[in-house]
Structure 1
Amino acid sequence: MKQVKMLRKAGRRPPLPLHLQLQDGRKLHVIGWLRVLPGKRLVGEGRLDGEKVLVKLFIAAPGPRHFERELRGIEALARVGVATPEVLATGALAGGGCFLATRFVDDAQTLQAQWEAAQPALPGTEPALDIICRAVKAVAELHQHGLLQTDMHLGNFLAQGEQLWVIDGDAIESHGDTCLPGPVALHNLALLLGQLPPEWDACQPRLLATYLHVHPARSLAADQLASEVRKVRQRRLADFLGKALRDCTLFSVRRSWTRFVAAPRDEASRMSNLLDDPDSAFTGVLLKDGGSSTVARTELGPDLVVVKRYNIKGFTHWLKRFWRPSRAWHSWLAAHRLRFLGIATPRPLGMVEQRFGPLRGRAWLITEHCDGQDLLAVLGPAGDTLPDPALQEALLQTTRALVAQRISHGDFKATNLIWNGDEVVLIDLDALQAHSRTGSWVKAWQRDRARLIRNWPAASPVARWLDEQLPPA
């Protein structure tokens, strides 16, 4: 009983190794954690009777609801012949909760891991397209048998050579022996495709054809799918931005009466000293020392990071700022928005706000350092030489993405666009805005467009080329 209580209280760092005494007298040994949902569910690699197993411990109080759903989902998959790892043992844990052990699939990778390894890849190119097609075929097979994957993502498909396994039975719903209704199937497929970067939307017709080849009885319209994918992406973006401000699997967030601190969870330990004292960065290379902000570059282990402090210039300025989110808060969310949508910007590594209860003061934003030169340095102030083809395509790709997502930068000058040899990277996101209304978007983009062109003389080749090539609103 004490062991389960200890696991519930262990948070994100359950002890290892863990030895569980089962009711039938056997011992289950957990040697590594793969996923931890604090106080709810633990997933790890273990040994049972000398065999390698995948262990799921359902430790949430007050009941075994997720355990029962996991079993039902696995049974539903096995019943229709969809490959899923075999259940080797199940049962109750002393002190509450349940366990489930399935066969461990060796030499396997999730499709998510394969997809990440294939990036960056141009939309529609191999092998990235093959990975998505495998997932689409698996989804079509599930739908054909009346099964629904409610937690739809590439991490729930496990590839072992040519064999594809569907995992996470907890998220499998059965709708009987008949295929899924059209609207349900459409939404479920859109949940998968909505996780691809927007530039992959052009591949939807081919992916839909792949789906229909496996499940031809279901007629789905391409325009309906495209509309549903856009809705899914917007909901996922809103959910992701919400997570960036709360303590969860992806982000480490600490709140107190005097401070708010956020960082990606995989960077929180490395960033801890800098998050505790962000002003320590200003002993490094000072990039800007202005009234409204101070910017420095400093070393963090083998890497370079940039720290931007948003200053409070005086009492009057504080009266204008204390009641609303800081510019660091805004830039933190803006950077995550851009990266979620596949638009290049330095990875945000941390955000700190000074507070007095609900009142906000100075704030800091920490990002990766971006190598490269700004466009004014690359093209020269005279603008008498056109950018090379690679830079032309990268710049137009960035502006097309901003237009497609109705995002205005707010200070779209050449020094805020960095060319690193592969892509154009946006920096200084203090005024970035996503527009829901057409009228405000058109005005904002026209201002951005004009601001970029205005960096060079109106009669220069660069200014003329930009005016011809930049997309209208």
Structure 2
Amino acid sequence: MGNNYTVTIPGEDVRETNTLTWKDLHAAHFAFDSPFEIPLIDDQVFSADEIIRIIPGKRLVAFGTWQEKPVVAKLFFDKKHAKRHMEEDLAGVERLRENKIPTPPIYYYGICKDKRIYILLFKRIFDAKSLHDIWLKKKNPERLLPALKGVTVELATQHVLGILQNDLHLKNFLLTRKKIYTLDGAQIELFPVLLSKKTSMHNFALFLSQLGVGTEELQMKLFNHYASSRGWLLKPEDTTELFMMIKKWNHERWLRYQKKIFRESSEFACMETWSKWGVYDRNYAKPEFERFLHDPEMAFHHATAVVLKAGRSSTVIKVTLDQQELVIKRYNLKNFWHRLRRCLRTTRAATSWRLAQKMKLFGIPTAKPVAFIEKKYFGLRGKSYYVMEYVPGEHGGSYFMRHRGEEEKVNEMVARIAKLLKNLAKLEVTHGDLKITNVLIDDQENPRLIDLDGAAEHAALSSLRAGWRKEIKRFLENFQDDPALQEKFKHALGGEKAG
């Protein structure tokens, strides 16, 4: 793409950089990550050194330099709407600035030299983290309460000023020690007066929904803080309405996300040939892993492969590919009739992938999903493979056996596992095979659910309750030889009520 030439950076290796045209950018795909330069209209140059995000055919965000200043660039190159997209983003940023809302300063905006690419250049803020990254790396949500309260006050302030972030998410906030910056002006709407209570609550519920299930106590604290910032006196029905809004947002967010996990996106890549189809996380696309995608059976003969389970219906191995420990579960077809029954149904690997992604979206611990692959025969589904990150630890049965007699430790783990199962029920999902061996205790003593191919989603509350009763009955059978532990779980799980 473009014309190659060499840029020499003092103290660094020589690297190749491209001067890109509109045609190059418009053809760039999700995997594009090469350094490049774009000449601007006044003979200045923007040099990109790290791609942050790309939406093919529309826009790209990158770190780079302009006039020797570190910047964040947004490039707009949609065939018909590039100028409008830039102007909308610019207008949103201006609305924030006019209302004294902290946002990174704009150094430059306008059209590039080829007159088809539009660009916004922002000051790059260092020593800052997005709220999204902070939340993902949390160990104790309560420790983030001060930061979350700070963002809550920022949102309340914006609502009082009539500012509405229609595309509100955790990545919209960049936090330093002293400031909270609001990013992304494209979906900002300005109202002539402060936002109504209903509109404010609806928008704030979208923010709270992204904290995941099982955070209701934290969500309530933040809602009280928001109401206090707005001078509201809350009524019981306000709390009921808020959590109904959060549930609605959870549903809408999942409907959007489940489409993303089965198609090309900045996060996922698809692989399709006449004999196989699958989706994988782009972060793992390295040489050995890519060989596995083309020949899944190679992993089962790899020098590092260790068999964890060798059953008729499935084979599970741990293997190291590209220095990354993975677990691969192959769903076997036992005979011709089994193949016939499965060939038109959703594969168990695709089910595991889908539900693991749902759990990840809503903050329910499981092994991180990496990929799934389905083999095809004349368009009919055959063997399938599900890949997840290997999580060091032990299954729940082993944990309780090892800590027998340590009352405090056992009680704490019972409470954690019970909370995990209740949070899964809040997603209207039941596991379907709730053996204690399918609860993995990681090295930080956090329980995670694995083996999701038998899980079920419930559209009706009656179905969920019936599934939950069956689930808990099955789970309690794990402890028939330990009545004291069985009683602890029975008490912690609250009998037969889902969630």
Common topology (TM > 0.5): yes
Cross-structure match for 1:191: 206
Cross-structure match for 2:134: 114
- SS in structure 2 at match of 1:412: coil
Matched, 1:295 2:316: yes
Contact 1:326 1:353 in 2 (8 A): yes
- 1:363 is aligned, of 377, 384, 406, to 384
- SS in structure 2 at match of 1:67: helix
Cα drift, residue 360 of structure 1 = 0.7
Contact 1:262 1:351 in 2 (8 A): yes
Change (3 A) 1:410 1:133: same
Deviations 1:219-244 (A, max 9, x none): 79222111111111122123222211
- The count of corresponding residues between Structure 1 and Structure 2 is 467
Deviations 1:249-290 (A, max 9, x none): 121122233211211122233632222222223232222222
Deviations 1:336-356 (A, max 9, x none): 222223222211111000113
The residue identity in structure 1 corresponding to 2:442 is N
Partner Cα separation in structure 2 for residue 116 and residue 380 of structure 1: 32
- SS in structure 2 at match of 1:238: helix
- 1:45 is aligned, of 60, 63, 68, to 63
Matched, 1:259 2:280: no
Deviations 1:82-137 (A, max 9, x none): 122222222223141311222222332222233334x121x4x22x1122212211
Partner Cα separation in structure 2 for residue 208 and residue 457 of structure 1: 43
Contact 2:108 2:120 in 1 (8 A): yes
Cross-structure match for 1:463: 486
Cα drift, residue 432 of structure 1 = 0.6
What are structure 2's unaligned runs of at least 5 residues? 3-19
What are structure 1's unaligned runs of at least 5 residues? none
Cα drift, residue 148 of structure 1 = 1.0
Deviations 1:448-473 (A, max 9, x none): 21212222336732333333433222
1:285-434 correspondence runs (5 A) = 285-356=306-377, 358-380=379-401, 388-420=410-442, 422-434=445-457
- Give the alignment's Cα RMSD to 1 decimal: 2.5
- SS in structure 2 at match of 1:288: strand
| TM-score using structure 1 length | 0.91
Partner Cα separation in structure 1 for residue 441 and residue 120 of structure 2: 51
- SS in structure 2 at match of 1:169: coil
Change (3 A) 1:50 1:334: closer
Moved over 6 A (4+): 217-220, 383-387
- SS in structure 1 at match of 2:30: coil
The residue identity in structure 2 corresponding to 1:398 is L
1:178-257 correspondence runs (5 A) = 178-216=193-231, 221-257=238-274
The residue identity in structure 1 corresponding to 2:207 is L
Change (3 A) 1:104 1:317: same
Change (3 A) 1:375 1:165: closer
- SS in structure 2 at match of 1:388: helix
Change (3 A) 1:282 1:58: same
Contact 1:418 1:425 in 2 (8 A): yes
Cross-structure match for 1:104: 124
- SS in structure 2 at match of 1:396: helix
Deviations 1:340-392 (A, max 9, x none): 232222111110001135421110111122322223334459x9997722322
